[in-house]
Amino acid sequence: MTTAIILAGGLGTRLRSAVPDLPKPMAHIQGKPFLVYLMDYWIRQGVSQFILSVGYQRKVIMDYFGENYRDIPITYVIEEEPLGTGGGLLLASMNLNEPFLVLNGDTFFEVDLTLLLQFHAEQKSDWTFSLFHTNEVGRYMGMDLAADGRIINFKSGTSQPSRLANGGVYLLNPLVLRKASFVNGSKLSLEDDMLPSLVDAGSVFYGLESTGRFIDIGIPDDYFRAGDILSHYGV
C-alpha cells in the first residue's frame, strides 16, 4: 500500500487574481479541478490511499471528493489555522508507519513511482526528492547532488539559469520527522524550517531526477499554461 499526502491547505494568494473564489488545488483546468488531474495520475501510479491536508476553503475540496475518489479512500486533516507546508505535512503524517509520498496540491510532476520507491530503498534514504531540470531563475530550490544522488546542498543554484530543482514530489520514511523536535500544530515552512532542522539532526536526503512533464500552477501565467500540458498528457 502506498499512501500519498497532498498538501492542499494554502491560501493561494499569488493565484487569487486568476482564481478568486476557489482554493488553489480546485482551480479549474479545462472544466476539471487541478486536484482531479493530480489524483488521477497518482492512482495510475499505484497510490492506494490519500491524506489531504486542507485549510482554506476546505469545504469545497471535501464536498467535491467526499471520503473516496475512484474507490481510493480519502482522509482529511484539517488546518484550523494555516500551518505552512511543513506544519501541514507534520499533522498529516502523524499516524503513518510506512514510507509515504508527499505531493504539493498545486504541482503536477510526472514521476515513476516504482523507480522512486526502488531508488529510495536502495539508497536507504530518509527523504527522497524528485528533481527536474529548470532554467528559471530564483523560483525553485536548487540542489547539488553527489555522484550517488545524495543531496549535499539544498539552497545552491537558485540564482543559476540551469540547475536541478525541487519538483514537489517526495518519498519519506516516517521516522525522519521524529529526528527533530517539531511540535505538532506549529506553523512550519518545509523549506525554511523543517529541512534545515533535519539536516542538523543527521538525516540522509537523496534526489532522483525525473524527466516527465512539470507544471506549478502557483502563479497565473503557469496556471494558464497548465491546460496544454495536462491535455497533452491525456488524464
Q: Is 188 exposed, middle or buried, given 0-12, 13-18 or 19+ CB atoms closer than 10 A? A: buried
To the nearest whole percent, how much of the chain has pLDDT over 70? 90
- Residue 21 has a pLDDT of 66
Residue 52 bridge partners (DSSP)? 6, 76
Q: What is the pLDDT of residues 68-114, one digit of tens each?
A: 999 999 999 998 888 889 999 999 999 999 999 999 998 999 999 99
Which of 68-72, 122-126, 188-192 is predicted least confidently?
Answer: 188-192
**How many domains are contained in the chain?**
1
In whole angstroms, how far apart are CA 216 and each of 66, 127, 166, 227?
25, 21, 11, 12
Domain hosting residue 9, numbered range = 3-233
If you average pLDDT over every residue of the chain, what do you get?
87
- Residue 35 has a pLDDT of 94
Higher pLDDT residue, 74 or 22? 74
How far apart, in whole angstroms, are the C-alpha atoms of residue 207 and residue 170?
9
CATH of the domain at 142: 3.90.550.10
Dihedral Cα 182, 175, 149, 130, nearest 10 deg: -70
Which residue in this structure is represented by grid cell 480519502? 74
C-alpha cell of residue 86: 511543513
Contact 140, 222 (CB under 8 A): no
Cα-based angle 154, 159, 161 (whole degrees, multiple of 5): 110
pLDDT over 90 (residue 222): no
pLDDT over 80 (residue 220): no
**Confidence band, pLDDT 50/70/90 cuts, at residue 158:** low
pTM of the model: 0.92
pLDDT over 90 (residue 62): yes
**Confidence band, pLDDT 50/70/90 cuts, at residue 12:** low
- Residue 9 has a pLDDT of 80
Which of 94-98, 111-115, 128-132, 216-220 is predicted least confidently?
Answer: 216-220
- Residue 235 has a pLDDT of 46
In whole angstroms, how far apart are CA 208 and each of 8, 88, 177?
24, 24, 20
**Confidence band, pLDDT 50/70/90 cuts, at residue 154:** confident
